[in-house]
Structure 1
Amino acid sequence: MTQAPPAASAPLRRALAEARSPRVPRTVPYVPERAFPWGGPGLPLDGPGGAVDLDRALRLSLAAPREAGGRLRPVPSAGALHPVRAHLLIGPGCSLPPGRYAYDPRTHRAHPRGPAPAGAPPGAVAVLTVVASRTVAHYGHRAWPLLLLDAGHAAAALALAAAPGGVRVSLDADGAELAAAAGLPRAAEWEARWPGTEPELPLVALWLSPGGTPARERDPLAAWSAHPRSRTAAPLPQPDAGTAPTGELTSTQSLLDHLTRASRPTWHPAHRPAPVTDDTLRTRRSADPADLTGPPAPELLAQVLATAHTARPDGPAWVVAVGGDTPGLRTPAGPLASGDARPTLARWAAGQRWIGTAGAVLLAHGCPADAPPALVRGSHLAAGYAAGAAQAHATALGLRSRPIGSWQQADLGAALGDAPGQDWIIHGLALAAPPAPPAPPAPPESPHQRTPHPAPPTSSGKEERP
């Protein structure tokens, strides 16, 4: 039986204040990704007879293209670290036999981890987890909000890839139930059960149904969470994962575990914005900051803002900062404030100066300083999810974009004259107009036009070249 969500605690308030403070993290150089920890034979995802196309959905969302060395994937991630992993709970109606699987994004294969319960729901449940060590090594005390945003982006990528179809997403399922469903121990039990391996912290669940929209009254996690974990395969020990974790890593893992204590999950349907196609998802990439200076057309910007605003009914509010002749902050309902906020946003976003000249910046905001765990978790997961949907929509419209995850002292409410500590920037998405079309080729030379003689040789005896 799950516990009721706890109220805001002093450790959570301190962690949130630290992540939003100007204190610079103590970081280490880029840490390479560890080997995939789940052994056993990797099975292809494109078998016959599957009403749920897992091969397509995962290839368009979480797969790591081999030609890019695994760092560049269809879904963005802070620092290109990609801490999100997927565990697939397969029931009837899929190309894989029913059972628990771990998905390897580098090989695009599913590794069996155990059988399915007798009452497994049809289709596939994907439980998204995060491994925190590399993100903590790179971002220190700012890592845990970024891990939540990354999980939200990954959830949006998988939902958009699986749609249109019966896809429902839960951003508030209880962590203990998610761990039990995926056959994983809780973070506090992990080292004792599977020593020498890194804990995976479950945050999100998606249900991909083979028959269209899943039944609202059914909880797809119930049968899986009641299924014994004793029959589930363990990860392989890793030589560099058995050392004592740093204080910040332990704190991050404990905090994320604390944030996922919840009651019954809610499931919301996923929708793909009309212009988004499979080609959009296949080619979506974050733009270089130097290419984000052209303001988007107002009508296109309004469409992307509307997508961010409506992607999650349980998410934070969204505004957009624009410059130009009439600079200001705008909501989907109209203007919020006048004046160019982009230079201030550049200071708040870890001093990324390029934001001051970005074409436009979408901003998710809310999550007070004393927010309870459910609101902190939900605000960040939903912000990442909405930004993922908005980025896909922007790509389909030809706009360039780049997520902005790290925000310090970004008290938007106080800056607008409201009470301090109540309305903070959670996430951002920079947008810019499409690149200028290439110059048209020179017209072909007329057959009647005289061809000029080549230039005479220079004093060096070599012919001059243009």
Structure 2
Amino acid sequence: MTQTPPGLLRRALADARSLRVPPTVPYLPERVFPWGGPALSLAGAGGGVDLDRFLRLSLAAPDGSTTGRLRPVASAGALHPVRAHLLVGPGCTLPPGRYAYDPRTHRAHPRGPAPADAPPGAVVVLTVTAARTVAHYGHRAWPLLLLDAGHAAAALALAAAPHGARVCLDADGAQLSAAAGLPGPAEWSERWPGAEPELPILAMWLSTAHQPVPATGPSAAWAALPHATAPTPQPDAASAPSAELAHTRQVLEHLTAAPTHPAPTWHPARRRPAPLTDDTLRTRRSAPTSDLAHPPAPDPLARILTTAEEARPDGPAWAAAIGGEAPALLTTAGVLAFGDARPTLARWAAGQRWIGTAGAVLVAHGCPADASPALIRGSHLAAGYAAGVAQAHATALGLRSRPIGSWQQADLGAALADAPGHDWIVHGLALAGPADPAPSAPPPPSGKEERP
């Protein structure tokens, strides 16, 4: 990969946070799943890692879905740009090998063999296809793609119980491409012309027991293999990308080439927050904006704020804006500021007025204007991950929720009289309590006259 042009990522971050409005373009429909070959069931016999259950509870579209838009995992614009490549070693319900997962059919498509020294369990490499998100959000797309990948990683981690998973948000993109059998972004159009590029964002490792992470990482053995089978070319993906799409791919390529440590870090996913169950994962959905005005009770709000704060301790800080008789901006440590911040948050979130009256609004904040590439990537992935865990916890507690991904001029630090440019809102999650029960109807008349 070429060296990052000076100022590229800082300008991209400032532009995504600016008031510049993306151009209006026609809706780009979802492309056909490109990975061909046999479509295998994930419910094979034997194996401690049940990939069928794992993916059905996380990324799979509901049975009977015709559009694939209404999935349990939140996604900006319901566009679902995240794809999963399964690197299956011994001890799983699929034979060892590389696979591409189709969430619409809940099937795995073989893409090549496994290395002889593949670690037990399965490595999941999450990639994104940027075209549809860019068509909808323009220059604001790349942060949303990172947030979407974080939400998908949270869904996978929650579904991995009881075995648990290790989550890696800082793996080098080139190594992830090699592990998944994909060419690098610069090689894609030459090696696989007519196929839409997939950019690797993060990885996870599921194992049957509490196995130590290999010294070189769970994906290293896979990266030594040659490229796997190619996707099916699609005529509408063969044309040259727009300037905005090419820029988005360039930004993501350079962000994922910036690991935060000499070696990738594979953090164990935290346990599911109680009382979250498999049924919760099957039924979670983002609520319509019209259903988000009822304030949540203080106790569940505090529990969900704690969940967001603790889901990724290496990520941004979290606060909750509430209204009512004692409006304030709350943290797990106490009051950050007094007053109702929700109208300001509504203005910062692309002018979505419903946020000004939402029951509560959780915000992830940090990622300064001069953040390093590693911090930009990690902040957005960790914020999406924490919001995904918090949203599932909200569902388990009977609350309604909706992520808020796009933020403009949301310099929270400056609004709180701190130095400008150092504390920006990265992500949000609106919460609402259950609606007040409707008044019970009077009993029907008995037909007999009642007397005193």
- What are the equivalent positions in structure 2 for 1:72-91 lying under 5 Å apart? 72-91=70-89
Aligned twin of 2:12: 15
Root mean square deviation of aligned Cα: 1.7
Measured against aligned partners, the alpha-carbon deviations of 1:128-152 in whole angstroms (never above 9, x if no partner) come to 0000000000000000000000000
User: SS of the counterpart of 1:126?
Assistant: strand
* 3-state secondary structure, aligned to 1:67: coil
Q: What's the CA shift string for 1:142-183, capped at 9, x where partnerless?
A: 000000000000000111011221311001101011111000
2:201 aligned to which of 203, 208, 212: 203
* Aligned residues of 1:63 and 1:106 also touching (Cα < 8 A): yes
TM-score, normalised on structure 2? 0.95
Quick check: 1:294–1:359 contact (8 Å CA) kept in 2? yes
Structure 1 residue runs of 4 or more that deviate by more than 6 Å after TM superposition: none
- Aligned partners of 1:363 and 1:428 also within 8 Å: yes
- Pair 1:276–1:450, CA change in 2 (3 A): same
Question: Is contact 1:8-1:372 (8 Å) kept?
Answer: no
The corresponding residue for 1:169 is 167
Cα distance in 1 between the residues matched to 2:24 and 2:173? 28
8 Å CA contact 2:4, 2:254 repeated in 1: no
CA separation in 1, counterparts of 2:168 and 2:134?
25
> In the alignment, what sits opposite 1:37?
34
Q: Does 1:227 align with 2:222?
A: no
Deviation at 1:28, TM superposition (A): 1.6
1:278 equivalent in structure 2: 278
Which sits farther off after the overlay, 151-160 or 23-32? 23-32
Aligned pairs for 1:101-140 within 5 A: 101-140=99-138
Q: Cα–Cα, structure 1 residues 7 and 31, in superposed 2: closer, same or farther, change >3 Å?
A: closer
Q: Is the 8 A contact 1:166 1:214 kept in 2?
A: no
C-alpha contact 1:9 1:372 (8 A) present in aligned 2: no
- What is the letter of the counterpart of residue 266 of structure 2? W
Letter in 1 for 2:252: L
Greater Rg over alpha carbons, structure: 1
Q: How many angstroms apart in 1 are the aligned matches of 2:256 and 2:292?
A: 36
The answer on whether the counterparts of 2:168 and 2:203 sit within 8 Å (CA) in structure 1 is: yes
Equivalent residues in 2 for 1:32-431, closer than 5 Å: 32-69=29-66, 70-211=68-209, 213-218=210-215, 219-229=217-227, 232-261=228-257, 262=259, 263-271=262-270, 272-431=272-431
Asked if the contact 2:14/2:369 (under 8 Å) is kept, the reply is yes
* Partner secondary structure for residue 71 of structure 1: coil
Deviations 1:112-135 (A, max 9, x none): 000000000001110000000000
Task: Report how far residue 11 of structure 1 moved.
Answer: 1.0
Percent of aligned positions that are identical: 74
The residue number in structure 2 matching 1:24 is 21
Q: TM-score of the superposition, structure 1-length normalised?
A: 0.92
1:29 positional shift: 2.8
**CA offsets 1:43-89 (integer angstroms, 9 cap, x no match):** 00011102111111111111112433211101010000000000000
Give the distance between the partners of 2:122 and 2:437, measured in 1 at CA: 43
**What is the CA-CA distance between 1:8 and the residue it aligns to?**
9.8
Provide Cα deviations, 1:71-113, integer angstroms capped at 9, x if missing partner.
1101010000000000000000011110000000111000000
Residues 399/249 of structure 1: CA separation in 2 closer, same or farther (3 Å cut): same
The answer on whether the counterparts of 2:157 and 2:164 sit within 8 Å (CA) in structure 1 is: no
Cα 1:451–1:65 shift into 2, 3 Å: farther
How far apart are the structure 1 equivalents of 2:313 and 2:124? Answer: 21
Structure 1: tracts of 5 or more residues without a match:
453-466
Cα distance in 2, alignment partners of residues 105 and 94 from structure 1: 19
Q: 1:217 to 1:95 in 2, by over 3 A?
A: closer
Structure 2 CA distance, aligned partners of 1:72 and 1:226?
A: 37
Q: Give the C-alpha shift of residue 30 in structure 1.
A: 2.3
Q: Which residue identity is paired with 1:393?
A: H
Which deviates further from its counterpart, 63-72 or 186-195? 63-72
Q: CA deviation at 1:451?
A: 7.5
AA paired with 2:89? G
Consecutive unaligned residues of structure 2, counting only runs of 5 or more, are: none
- Count of aligned pairs: 444
- Three-state SS of the structure 1 residue aligned to 2:398 is coil
Cα offset, 1:316, TM superposition: 0.5
Q: For 2:18 and 2:319, how far apart are their aligned partners in 1?
A: 22
